[in-house]
Amino acid sequence: MLKKERAAFIDQRLQSLYPNPPIPLDHTDSYSLLVAVLLSAQCTDARVNTVTPALFKLAKTPQKMAGVAVEEIKAIIRPCGLSPQKSKAISVLSKMLVDLHGGEVPDNFADLEALPGVGHKTASVVMSQAFGHPAFAVDTHIHRLAQRWGLTNGKNVQQTEADLKKLFPKDRWVDIHLQFIYYAREHCQARNCFGLECEICSTCYPKRVNKKIVLKP
């Protein structure tokens, strides 16, 4: 298969497997999504979903969170890992949302990425899932699949994102980002498929015999 043929097959197969992919992080608005995505760094979505109810019971708006002590936030989010950094980021970004944005989560990349703890991937998730902006957030799951499926040679997520945006229609970016993630978790895990076992890998590369080892970006 040529790259465009692989992309077309992958697009069709993912759409058939996950026609209406839900957002795996529980949230009620753009603020709770922003905090949940921040907490998900180096942590599973499932664990984040067990922690956020207590956090948002304590404070569910930027205004209320800005008044909570960092140590109190840290105690709740400790199971997510990196709690000293994440708790400080949640506290400071909440204050910035109140002081600079009227308590609202901004709907543009520049202002989102200016918030502590919010990189391009987190901003992309918020822009796409909260505001419907056609963004294509690339995490380690998506980077791994894009490498195994021959959709990119990029050694970092920035290049992988650029390559994937060229291959898939803009109106598919929001959903296909999630579809990649679900497929990666269920069928093409880092320490299982190795580019040899799952349906998409074996269809795209039926003659591949050596493991496709993908380093973390």
**Residue-wise pLDDT tens digits, 61-100:** 999 999 999 999 999 999 999 999 999 999 999 999 999 9
Residues sharing a CB contact under 8 Å with residue 148, sequence separation 6 or more, in sequence order: 188, 193, 195, 201, 212, 214
Domain limit, last residue, from 101, 129, 157: 129
Domain that holds residue 156: 3-21+136-204
- Is 29 considered catalytic here? no
Go through 31-50 and write b for each residue having 16 or more CB atoms within 10 A of its CB, e for each that does not. bbbbbbbbbbbebebeebbe
**Using one digit for the tens of pLDDT, what is the confidence trace for 102-149?**
999 999 999 999 999 999 999 999 999 999 999 999 999 999 999 999
CB–CB of 97/116 below 8 Å? no
Q: Which residue of the set 3, 86, 121, 155 is catalytic?
A: 121
pTM of the model: 0.91
Q: Quote the number of domains for the chain.
A: 2
Query: Do 154 and 84 sit in the same domain of this protein?
Result: no
CB–CB of 36/26 below 8 Å? yes
CB–CB of 139/157 below 8 Å? yes
Q: Which residue of the set 3, 86, 139, 155 is catalytic?
A: 139
Q: The domain that contains 187 carries what CATH number? A: 1.10.1670.10
Does a structural domain hold residue 114? Answer: yes
Query: Do 170 and 120 sit in the same domain of this protein?
Result: no
- Is 121 considered catalytic here? yes
